[in-house]
Amino acid sequence: MKKRIAVLPGDGIGPEIIEQSIKVLTSVEKRFGHFFEFAYGSIGASAIDEFGDPYPESTHKLCLESDAILFGAIGDPKYDNDPSAKVRPEQGLLKMRKDLGLYANIRPVTIYNALLDRSPLRMDIIKDVDLVVVRELTGGIYFGEPRGRSEDGRKAFDTSIYSDFEIERISRIAFNLARKRKGAVTLVDKANVLATSRLWREVVGRLHDEEYKDIKLDFLFVDNASMQLVLNPSRFDVILTENMFGDILSDQASIIPGSIGLLPSSSMGVYTPLFEPIHGSFPQGAGKNIANPIATILSAAMMLDDAFNMEVEALSIRKGCEAAINNGKLTPDLTDSEKVCTTSQIGDYIADFINELVL
């Protein structure tokens, strides 16, 4: 099978972790008889430096002409530390999501038995955790208008807007995903305070009653949900929520397995799907060959599974990642041992595992 993949390394450790995903995908390509065309584009701070635009038209065109997008990370201290900057790397990510219609962000949280002691939570709390956060990605306070500052600069305002259409389409994804899992959806909102949250409850409840009665549906306020993620995370199957709450809760959930460097994600919608690790650009580690590439490699596995229907190939990558973890092939974020591995060594190990895997 031939597929064209838009590769957007981005900033910080992005190029290093993306290199390992390409290494692993090349092994998949050879082992299973596929052909992957890797076409590179600029985004974020690197794109600002080159084009003056964090998401240039050439990158958008590349994404539209590809079968899937593999993305690294975005962000640079020279913009983070300058509150007056008119153009920021993160604007490129938001624009890409909006222009590609990527309204559904899916973030699975998987526990590895070999890393139970790395979690800040007790083993008995996390051992049965297997959840997915389904986050609406193109609406809410991040995109609502009007926004801005008062003329004297002493007041600022943002607007959160949702339509029933936006809520229904992301809810269908959550309910359909739950049917393939444990059959439970938890809607997280703040319906006791926010009008948008009350609309979410109304639309999700109606859709459930009309089409998804086989799914168990419950509701939690976001403050309670954040506590339950720490006290009893195994109670969750599929968490459905709006943009800002999903941004916060999915990052909170990411610490459960022991490192944010373990969690992949996909963003699906109208046009080309995007696959990326959930972590940031980690500029302090850029160029040091210390970043954990597993989240990015697992994002490539999600791409094979969800975009290309290559289930066996995706499974081979997941087995390779699990083998690396079980055999102590770990980057500094996951071990205090002197036998720490580099970013490239992890990529080499997983690529070799796929080459030698008995099918």
| Closest to 23 (Cα-Cα) out of 331, 355, 272, 289 | 355
Residues 127, 252, single domain; the answer is: yes
Residues 242, 279, single domain; the answer is: no
Residues 241, 151, single domain; the answer is: yes
Whether 271 shows a pLDDT value over 90: the answer reads: yes
Residues 207, 89, single domain; the answer is: no
CATH number of 229's domain: 3.40.718.10
Domain count within the chain: 2
Burial profile 160-188: b = 16 or more Cβ within 10 angstroms, e = fewer? bebeeebbeebbebbbebbeeeeebbbbb
| Element of type H or E holding 47 | helix 45-51
Distances from the Cα of 32 to the Cα of 134, 203, 236, angstroms: 31, 44, 36
Residue 192 structural domain: 120-256
- For the beta sheet containing 104-110, the strands, ordered from the edge strand earlier in sequence to the opposite edge, are 35-40, 2-10, 68-73, 274-277, 264-268, 104-110, 130-136, 238-241, 184-189, 216-221
**115: in domain:** no
Interior CA angle at 18 toward 21 and 338, to 5°?
80
The length of the chain, given as a count of residues: 359
Residues 248, 288, single domain; the answer is: no
Give the span between the Cα atoms of 214 and 209, in whole angstroms: 9
Residues 275, 355, single domain; the answer is: yes
Whether 242 shows a pLDDT value over 80: the answer reads: yes
355 C-beta neighbours (distance < 10 Å), count: 13
Lowest mean pLDDT among 8-12, 76-80, 284-288, 337-341: 76-80
Average of per-residue pLDDT across 158-168: 95
Residues 68, 39, single domain; the answer is: yes
| Element of type H or E holding 184 | strand 184-189
Q: pLDDT value at position 83?
A: 67
The pLDDT > 90 percentage for the chain reads 82
Give catalytic residue positions.
Answer: 142, 190, 223, 247, 251
| Element of type H or E holding 7 | strand 2-10
Domain boundary (206, 227, 256) is at 256
pLDDT tens, residue by residue, 201-211: 999 999 999 99
Residues 128, 210, single domain; the answer is: yes
Bigger pLDDT: 336 or 208? Answer: 208
Domain boundary (234, 256, 278) is at 256
What is the overall mean pLDDT for the chain?
Answer: 94
Whether 9 shows a pLDDT value over 70: the answer reads: yes
Rounded to the nearest 10 degrees, what angle do helices 14-32 and 343-356 cross at? 10
Categorize the per-residue pLDDT at 68 as very low, low, confident or very high, splitting at 50, 70 and 90. Answer: very high
pLDDT tens, residue by residue, 74-133: 988 887 766 667 788 888 998 999 999 999 999 999 999 999 988 999 999 998 899 999
Whether 358 shows a pLDDT value over 70: the answer reads: no
Q: pLDDT value at position 71?
A: 97
Domain boundary (232, 256, 280) is at 256
Residues 249, 271, single domain; the answer is: no
Q: pLDDT value at position 88?
A: 86
Average of per-residue pLDDT across 271-275: 96
Dihedral angle sign, alpha carbons of residues 186, 307, 144, 161: negative
